[in-house]
Structure 1
Amino acid sequence: MARRNDPKGRRGTPEEREAIAAKYQDAVAQLQRTAYWNLRSTIASVCVFLGVFAILFIAWGEADGARLVPTLACAIGGVCGAGVYFSRPYPLLVRWLLLAAVSFTALGLAGLAIVAGTSS
Structure 2
Amino acid sequence: MTVVDIFCGMGRGRGAGSRSKRRQVTERERAAAVEDYRESVGRLQHTAYRNMRQTVAYATIFVAIIAMWMLFIGQATPATFPWYAVAILSGAFGLATYFVRQPRPRLYVLAVAVVLAVVGVTGMFLTS
Q: TM-score range by the shorter chain?
A: 0.7 to 0.9
Q: Greater Rg, structure 1 or structure 2?
A: 2
Residues 26-80 of structure 1: CA deviation (Å, up to 9, x unaligned)? 1101101110110111011010011012123234432231010110010000010
Aligned residues: 109
Unaligned runs of 5+ in 1: 1-6
Task: Please give the TM-score of this superposition, normalised by the length of structure 2.
Answer: 0.78
Aligned to 2:125: 113
- Displacement of 1:10: 4.3
Which of 1, 11, 25 is matched with 2:24 structurally? 11
Structure 1: how far apart are the matches of 2:55 and 2:105? 17
Distance 1:95 1:8, change over 3 A: farther
Higher fraction of helix = 1
Structure 2 residue runs of 5 or longer lacking an equivalent are 1-19
Of all paired residues, the percent bearing the same amino acid is: 29
| TM-superposed deviation, 1:8 | 6.8
Distance 1:31 1:80 in 2: 26
State how far apart, in whole Å, the 1-side matches of 2:23 and 2:57 are.
46
Alignment root-mean-square deviation, CA: 1.7
Using the size of structure 1 for normalisation, the TM-score is 0.83
